[in-house]
């Protein structure tokens, strides 16, 4: 095989990068992306050598397959992507041509797969033997430790059988003694959890995961040996810091523990690097209990995880109270639905041409028995986090359709009702049937129902939900994009979606009140959006209109409708219907 017309421009580096991109994420790789590309760049040269060799040398391909396994690119998906990228790109990227190119490529792929399979088999056998030996050594050491210190490990009830560390029972006893023994004024707890430990278990197996836990437990014990280290279960460890002089004492212990965990660890031939997150609670012993301390430490650990992991967080009583209040509020949503505590207000969508109320957006409120009337920003986010947005959103949709069916007195066209849908609602398989049932039961014409989705929801929606929206659009239901311009959607993408209206985010409208030249910039942006939307046969509604000046400038650039306090604040539907020229006869 020789270089063809493209040989002078062949680029092994391009192929190696494509190869690295293809196999990234298929296995747990203990190397950086640059190291992976360097390895595959070298193997690319070997592949080229195999293709050029006369006669064909099958050993080269087998060696390449074996080296892939040795580098931990050792999954079925990794092999499949390797074969695919070699078959599709190798000859082209290296500029190689030959009369027997297809035959050589087939033989090369076969030898790579053969070497890969053999190496994988050998590695599995070696790992099983290493694990067996490690287990035998660990068992022998544990037996010796039991014989040498029978009192320490006496009925295994107080120690973790895997790591040999104190377990939850013993830790709780020691924590209780520290609080009730009055030996010190303050106490600290560091609650530690490994980050992404499940990835190691899933990719390398639970045996490797268990051996890693043993290693982590031993490192923690050595690093903070003056303090009690216990394993609570899974990949959770806890450190008791007695007789603290303040939060800084517990923080120093946490930082020592994090540093100990993140050092690379060799487990059964695998070099693993893991990180951990720690929740820290340090406070006076008076007025607290072991249960309260551990609950606070658990909450703080979740804060550290939510912040990205590989860090510690310190307990904040005020933040904890806020989160408890949020939890209580979310837990009350199902009961509130049963008790009829939710209601709808409406805000008009007004024509900029003649002032007609074209539609009204339904806005849910919660008449909370203790906290009074709550706006959506107090509970919608909670409902989305917990999945309760599905029943709550279903109620809003049903109630809005029921109320809208009674709007109008026959003297003019009645306005449509606009209802926001959360991403969980859009992805539900039964959305189309739900809307059909509501329209049939309430008698509301499909053209008088508008469903609003944020542009991020539309962009993240899979093909099946989009098909459901198309079915609804074919029925006559209006589909609108809410808060357009705040995300990453674009008008070209909307060509393939069943959208009839864009609701431009209020941030652009607010800019119309700014002094020159800032307001002119937002005005030009809005004019461009309106022009492009009209080219796609979409109507445009501007949100957040608060002044007559804003309304005039929006009307001048051709915006179809507007919504905001200038045209009416949220309230009962009747107060807006009475102000509509089309419905009031004026």
Please give the DSSP secondary-structure letter assigned to residue 413: P
What is the reported pLDDT for 249? Answer: 95
Q: What is the pLDDT of residue 3?
A: 55
Write down the CATH number for the domain with range 12-129. 1.10.490
Cis peptide before 517 (omega within 30 of 0): yes
What pLDDT digit, counting tens, does each position of 406-461 carry? 997 666 689 999 999 998 999 888 999 999 999 999 999 999 999 999 877 776 65
Asked whether the predicted pLDDT for residue 545 surpasses 70, the reply is yes
* pLDDT single digits (tens) 334-382: 999 999 999 999 999 999 999 999 999 999 999 999 999 999 999 999 9
C-alpha to C-alpha distance for 130 and 512, rounded to whole angstroms: 70
Helix (H, G, I), strand (E, B) or coil at 405: coil
- Whole-prediction pTM value? 0.60
Q: What is the mean pLDDT of the chain?
A: 87
Q: What are 208-222's pLDDT values in tens digits?
A: 999 999 999 999 999
The architecture of the domain spanning 168-315 is 2-Layer Sandwich (3.30)
For the chain, the domains span 12-129, 168-315, 350-362+388-578
Phi, psi of 437 (to 5 degrees): -60, -45
Least confident range of 98-102, 159-163, 574-578:
98-102
Higher pLDDT, 164 or 71: 164
The DSSP H or E segment spanning 255 is helix 247-262
Contact 471, 432 (CB under 8 A): yes
**CB contact at 8 A, 272 and 264:** yes
Give the confidence band of 115 by pLDDT, cuts at 50, 70, 90: confident
d(CA 448, CA 393): 18
Would the pLDDT of 394 be above 50? Answer: yes
At 522 the pLDDT is 82
In the predicted model, what is the mean pLDDT of residues 188-206? 94
Tell whether the model's pLDDT for residue 485 goes beyond 90.
no
Residues near 475 by beta carbon (within 8 Å), at least 6 away in sequence: 435, 436, 439, 446
Confidence of residue 586 (pLDDT cuts 50, 70, 90): very low
Please identify, in words, the CATH class of the domain defined by 350-362+388-578: alpha beta
The proportion of the chain whose per-residue pLDDT surpasses 70, expressed as a percent, equals: 90
More confident residue, 408 or 550: 550
Q: Residues 391-411, buried b or exposed e (16+ Cβ, 10 A)?
A: ebbbbbbbbbbbbbbebbeee
């Amino acid at each position: 095989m020789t270089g063809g017309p493209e040989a002078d421009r062949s680029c092994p580096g391009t192929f190696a990068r494509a190869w690295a991109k293809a196999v990234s994420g298929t296995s747990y790789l203990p190397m950086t992306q640059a190291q992976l590309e360097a390895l595959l760049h070298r193997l690319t040269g070997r592949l080229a050598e195999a293709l050029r060799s006369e006669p064909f040398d099958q050993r080269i391909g087998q060696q390449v397959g074996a080296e892939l396994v040795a580098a931990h690119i050792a999954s079925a998906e990794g092999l499949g992507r390797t074969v695919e990228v070699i078959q599709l790109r190798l000859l082209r990227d290296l500029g190689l041509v030959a009369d027997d190119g297809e035959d050589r490529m087939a033989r090369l792929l076969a030898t790579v797969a053969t070497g890969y399979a053999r190496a994988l088999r050998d590695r599995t056998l070696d790992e099983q033997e290493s694990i067996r030996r490690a287990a035998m050594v660990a068992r022998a050491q544990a037996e010796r430790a039991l014989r040498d210190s029978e009192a320490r490990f006496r009925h295994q009830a107080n120690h973790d059988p895997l790591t040999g560390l104190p377990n939850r029972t013993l830790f709780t006893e020691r924590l209780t003694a520290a609080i009730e023994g009055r030996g010190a004024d303050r106490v600290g707890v560091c609650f530690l959890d490994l980050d992404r430990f499940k990835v190691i278990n899933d990719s390398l197996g639970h045996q490797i995961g268990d051996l890693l836990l043993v290693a982590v437990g031993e490192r923690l014990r050595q690093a903070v040996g003056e303090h009690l280290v216990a394993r609570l279960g899974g990949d959770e460890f806890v450190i008791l810091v007695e007789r603290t002089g303040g939060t800084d004492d517990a923080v120093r212990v946490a930082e020592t523990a994090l540093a100990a965990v993140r050092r690379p660890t060799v487990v059964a031939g695998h070099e693993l690097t893991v990180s951990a997150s720690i929740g820290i609670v340090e406070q006076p012993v008076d007025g607290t209990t072991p249960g309260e301390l551990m609950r606070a430490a658990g909450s703080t650990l979740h804060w550290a995880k939510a912040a990205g992991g590989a860090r510690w967080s310190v307990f904040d009583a005020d933040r904890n109270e806020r989160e408890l209040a949020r939890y209580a509020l979310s837990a009350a949503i199902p009961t509130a639905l049963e008790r009829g505590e939710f209601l709808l207000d409406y805000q008009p969508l007004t024509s900029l041409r003649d002032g007609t109320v074209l539609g009204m957006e339904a806005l849910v409120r919660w008449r909370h028995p203790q906290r009074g009337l709550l706006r959506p920003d107090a509970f919608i986010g909670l409902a989305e986090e917990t999945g309760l947005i599905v029943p709550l959103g279903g109620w809003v949709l049903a109630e809005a359709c029921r109320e809208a069916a009674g709007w109008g007195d026959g003297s003019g066209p009645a306005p449509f009702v606009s209802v926001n849908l959360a991403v969980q609602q859009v992805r539900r398989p039964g959305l189309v049937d739900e809307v059909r049932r509501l329209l049939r039961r309430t008698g509301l014409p499909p053209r008088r129902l508008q469903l609003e989705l944020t542009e991020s929801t539309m962009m993240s929606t899979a093909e099946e939900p989009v098909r459901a929206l198309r079915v609804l659009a074919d029925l006559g239901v209006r589909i609108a994009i809410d808060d357009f311009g705040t995300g990453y959607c674009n008008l070209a993408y909307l060509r393939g979606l069943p959208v009839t209206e864009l609701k431009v985010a209020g941030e652009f409208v607010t800019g119309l009140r700014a002094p020159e030249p800032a307001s002119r910039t937002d005005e030009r942006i809005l004019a461009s959006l309106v022009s492009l939307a009209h080219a796609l046969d979409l109507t445009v509604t501007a949100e957040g209109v608060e002044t007559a000046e804003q309304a005039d400038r929006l009307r001048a650039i051709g915006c179809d409708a507007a919504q905001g306090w200038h045209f009416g604040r949220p309230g009962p539907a009747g107060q807006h219907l009475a102000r509509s020229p089309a419905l009031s006869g004026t």
